[in-house]
Structure formats: C-alpha cells, structure tokens
Structure 1
Amino acid sequence: MPPLVSVIVPCHNSRKTLALCVEAAQAQTYAEIEVIVVDDASTDDSAAIAESLGAAVVRLPVNGGAGLARNRGMAAARGEVLFFVDSDVALAPDAVEQAMRMFDDHPEYAAVWGVYGDRPLVDDGIVERVQVLTGHYRQSELDVVHTGHFAVGALRRVVVDRIGGFDERLVGQWTNEDHEFGLRIAENFPVGRAVRVVGFHDDDDRVTSVVRKRFGRAVSLIPLVLKQRDLKPEREALHRPAELAAIGLTGFGLLLALVSPALGVLAVAAFGAFLWTVRGMLGFVRRSAGWPTAAAAAGLTFLYGFAVGLGGLTGALRYAVDPGFRRRYRTVSM
C-alpha cells in the first residue's frame, strides 16, 4: 500500500479560501491522504467549514501562530509524509502525487518544496497578479534550495523525529519561524525544489500589506542569514542582494541629485542596473500578462525591494544592539 500522506492546513479566520483549500486537498490524484485542519483560535466559522467538508479538525484555544499550529497538526498526523498547505492555497490536483514521485526518484531527499502557481487562487487585481507572477518566477528559477516553503511543501516524518518541529519561541508576525525550520532541515538533510508540486495562492492585493510584510520579514531574516552563512539563505529571498544594491544606489543617487542635478546620472544608472538584474522576471511577466502588468511589476518590485532593504538595515542594527534579538534565533528549544 502507498504511504499515507497527512495534509496539514493551519488556519486562522480563513473562511474566504478554506473550502477551496480543503476541497483541493481532498481531490488529489494520490489516494492515501488524510486532511488535518488546525484551527488557530479563529473567530469566524473556519473550523465549522472544515468539519462540514469531512476534514479532521484540531482546535486551539489560543492563537499561537502558524508554527505552533503546524506542530499540533504534525502531532495529530498519522502519515509517513507530512504535506503542509496554507489555508489560502489550493493544490493542483496532482501536487501530492508529484511530491511522492520526487521522493521516489530522490530517496535521499528529506523534504521537497513546491512552488506557487502562475495565477491567483482568487484574482483581486493587478497588485495580486504581480505578486503571484513574480513569486512563481522567483521560486521556479531556483535549482538549489535550502529555505523551506511550508505553504506548499512536504517532508518525511523522520525529519521531525530527529530534529523536532517549528521553534515555538518564534511567535508573532514575520518572525520567520518557517525559514528557521527550513534552514535547520537543510542543515541536517538533503532537500529539493519540486516545480511540479504546485499550489495556487490567494496573495496580498494591497501594496501597503506587501510592504509591511516584506519589511517585517527582512528584519527577522538577518539573524538567520548570520546564523546560517554556509547555506546563504539570502540567495533564496524574493529580492536578491544585487537587486537590493541597485535599489539602494538609486535612492542614494536621488539624494545626491538634490545637491547637484548632474549627480542624478548615478540614480539613472543604478535604476538601469536594477532593471537589468530583474530582466528575466519582467520578461516572464510580460509574456504571461502583457506590458502593463510588466511595468507594474517593475515599479512594485522596486518599492518592495526598498522596503526589504530598510528592513534588513533595521534588523542588522537591532542584531548589533539587542542581545535578546540575537538569542531568540540562536538555539532551538523543543
């Protein structure tokens, strides 16, 4: 009999997309599946929706965050393979089958990380379309991957048995508990990217929301980058170092132009360098959705990268002056 796969869905107030998520998990071409929804103290009817669809539901009395919810889902799971799906993601019909096929083809892999699809689960406008297309491109272009993608990804249970689960000290928005666990897995086991393991994401559709998230996650990424220099997790971030450098130089050039307009040439040159670093992504967006969406992608990517750069500088300063911030990511307590 094929191995049982436990699909684990953490959710908090997810009524907009939860039914789409659970139904897609239940409709997989791989037959041996159990679906476990961990309701993280929702105040809407998320738990009732999951129960009405026949999913097993674990109810948490207090909102503890995605890491804790995933840990509770793993504790309730019976499968040899744990497949994580966010509640705003609907799997492609063969996603689990593709993950299991990759495990068969690569028995050395302890985890396989999937990708977001190239269309939104619920299309709420151009901001979301840019998010989805650029995210799909960034994930699909990576051959070597270390950071985990727990919105669409699977791991063997032996991983949890050996190194534990998510660090429950990393509670709160943008603490990167998923990146920490993904890096810990990659430090101990071979892992791989599975571009055929696809989930369609209901992404953010407001610029302010994306800016806040990118800034916040960049702050907490700094200690992980410094802790795991050998894995170089910054190379797998949504904004690459060369791209961020070009954005920073563009901003610096604009400041110099206030002193002397002639110095504005630095800003023009740096912005050209930025466009060059993201040319592959912009070409993909243009081919997928046309020139207007590509132009929007260029502007939004620059803005988001600027927020990431500020977040990284903030995180570096906090790492330098705040011992508690450094200790938070230093060791794992299970």
Structure 2
Amino acid sequence: MSGLTSIIIPTFNGLHLLRTCVDHIRAYTEVPYEIIVVDNGSRDGTGEYCLREKLLLISLPDNTGFPVACNRGLRMASGDQLLLLNNDVFVSPRWLTLLLEALYSREEIGIVGPVTNYASGIQQVKAGYTDITGYIHEAERWNVTNPGRWQEVNRIVGLCYLFKRTVMNRVGLLDEMFSPGHYEDDDYCYRARLGGFKLLVAGNVLVHHEGSASFRNRFPGGFQDLIERNRKRFVEKWNVDPLQFIEERGDAS
C-alpha cells in the first residue's frame, strides 16, 4: 500500500451527520488521508463548517445526487486510493489501516468494503451495541488483522467504498445515469469485475451506518420508486437483473 487515501463525502443538509463522520475519521485514522466534502446545495451551514474545519470543499448550487457528487470529488482527489463515504457512516479504530491491508493483499483486488450494522447483502452483520460509545467499544474488539474474515464477493455496497486509482483509470467514473442514487455502486462493481478486478468484503472492519438518511430526507414518498427505477436502468444497461445477481451469490440478507 502506498501514499494518500482521498475520502470523498457527498452531503446534502446533513451537517449533524457530517460533523460526527469527520470527527470519527480524525479520531480513528492512522494513515495519510485527505477529506473532500462535496456539498449538494445544503442550506444548513455545511459550507461554513467545512471552511472552518479546513476541509477540501466542492460546493454545488443544487442537489445533483450521489453519483454526480462523487464524480466531482473523484476528479479533485489526489490519492493513490479513493474512498467514497456516506455522510451517515461513522468509522472506528484502525478502520482504514485494515481496509488498506485487504485492498493490497493481492494485486487483482480492486475494491473493498467493511461490514456494518445497516446495509443490503452480506455486509450487514448483527452488532450488539446500542449507542455510539458501545459501537466504538465493540469495534475495538472487532477491528483486528484477520485475513480469515475477508470474503471475495461480486458486489460492495457504496456506503464505504475503497478502491485503487488503477480501478478508476481502467473503469472510469460512476455512471451518472443512476442519479440521484442507487445501483451506481452495483454498476461500478460490475464494470470493475469486467475490467479484471476482484472485490473483497473485509469482515474484520466494522463501521456504523445510520441508514439512507439523505435519500429519505429528499424522497420521503418515493424512496422505493427511485430504487425500482434504477434497478430497471441497470437491467437495460447490462441485461442482468441485479436482484437475481445478489440472490445467486448469497449476498442477500
């Protein structure tokens, strides 16, 4: 492993989450990193917070959605590794060190992700904590070097999504057809695998996920409609149903 990891955090009116997200990165990251916040037109003081905290900031006038925001961050990123992180994900001790161990364990590994309390597929695990203090205590025990807990998969959920720059060089950026979000991560995984990369879930890294906070905030009535629309777009693009794709692999929970 080498150099800097660029952590790209898209956000929309989520300052209360972003603060905790950034605080956890700063408290629990022991390897070189930069934080790039892509603000999707927030009106809650996000921009002022980022400037005050000396975070790299891309300020967009309107909410363009997750894939567009990620792509803006990826274009600005200078890291050897690129990490897309939801603003409602809170990391824990040794998280990035251990994810990088998994990422560089084999040359063909292109994308890795952690396990979490809230996700679709096999990345969701049963966690015993009930609050953030309890989460950190649990993660202290959970987050240890253990290649036996790595699992090769065909899909990594985009909530905490670490990949080598060589993946982006070969595969490109996220497909903005999936804006404002959902299935852009499945699409990127599919393209990475077509490009010859393998994907790994690092079962020895636990992150906390609040769960689709921004999407439910923006689409309170049409959340499922949005997911279904983008599933159809994936099918039209690849002639593969990602739901069947998940179930066949045993990734569905």
TM-score range relative to shorter protein: 0.7 to 0.9
1:183 aligns with 2:190: yes
User: What's 1:97 paired with?
Assistant: 97
1:158 aligns with 2:166: yes
Percent identity over the alignment?
A: 24
The 1:64/1:89 distance shift into structure 2, 3 A limit, reads same
Instruction: For residue 17 of structure 1, give the secondary structure of its aligned residue in structure 2.
Output: helix
The one of 191, 197, 217 equivalent to 2:205 is 197
Instruction: For residue 113 of structure 2, give the secondary structure of its aligned residue in structure 1.
Output: strand
* Aligned partners of 1:145 and 1:193 also within 8 Å: yes
Structure with larger Rg? 1
User: What's 1:23 paired with?
Assistant: 23
Which letter maps to 2:230? S
User: What's 1:8 paired with?
Assistant: 8
The 1:168/1:229 distance shift into structure 2, 3 A limit, reads closer
Counterpart Cα distance in 1 of 2:97 and 2:130: 22
User: What's 1:217 paired with?
Assistant: 227
User: What's 1:43 paired with?
Assistant: 43
Unaligned runs of 5+ in 2: 118-126, 133-148
Structure with the larger helix share = 1
Structure with larger RCO (C-alpha < 8 A, sep 6+): 2
Deviation at 1:227, TM superposition (A): 5.0
User: What's 1:234 paired with?
Assistant: 243
The 1:156/1:204 distance shift into structure 2, 3 A limit, reads closer
Q: Normalised by the size of structure 2, how large is the TM-score? A: 0.74
User: What's 1:274 paired with?
Assistant: none
Counterpart Cα distance in 1 of 2:34 and 2:185: 22
The 1:204/1:85 distance shift into structure 2, 3 A limit, reads closer
Instruction: For residue 193 of structure 2, give the secondary structure of its aligned residue in structure 1.
Output: helix
Deviation at 1:120, TM superposition (A): 7.0
Which letter maps to 1:220? N
Instruction: For residue 194 of structure 1, give the secondary structure of its aligned residue in structure 2.
Output: strand
Instruction: For residue 110 of structure 1, give the secondary structure of its aligned residue in structure 2.
Output: strand
Counterpart Cα distance in 2 of 1:21 and 1:29: 12
Which letter maps to 2:88? D
Counterpart Cα distance in 2 of 1:34 and 1:103: 18
* Aligned partners of 2:66 and 2:181 also within 8 Å: no
Which letter maps to 1:178? D
Instruction: For residue 163 of structure 2, give the secondary structure of its aligned residue in structure 1.
Output: strand
Which letter maps to 1:213? F
Q: What is the CA deviation profile of residues 294-314 of structure 1, one whole-angstrom value per residue up to 9, with x for unaligned ones? A: xxxxxxxxxxxxxxxxxxxxx
Task: Map residues 47-126 of structure 1 onto 2, 5 A cutoff.
Answer: 47-117=47-117, 118=127
Counterpart Cα distance in 2 of 1:236 and 1:26: 37
Q: What is the CA deviation profile of residues 6-45 of structure 1, one whole-angstrom value per residue up to 9, with x for unaligned ones? A: 1111111111211010111122343211111111111211
Deviation at 1:183, TM superposition (A): 1.8
Which letter maps to 2:65? G
Counterpart Cα distance in 1 of 2:184 and 2:212: 20
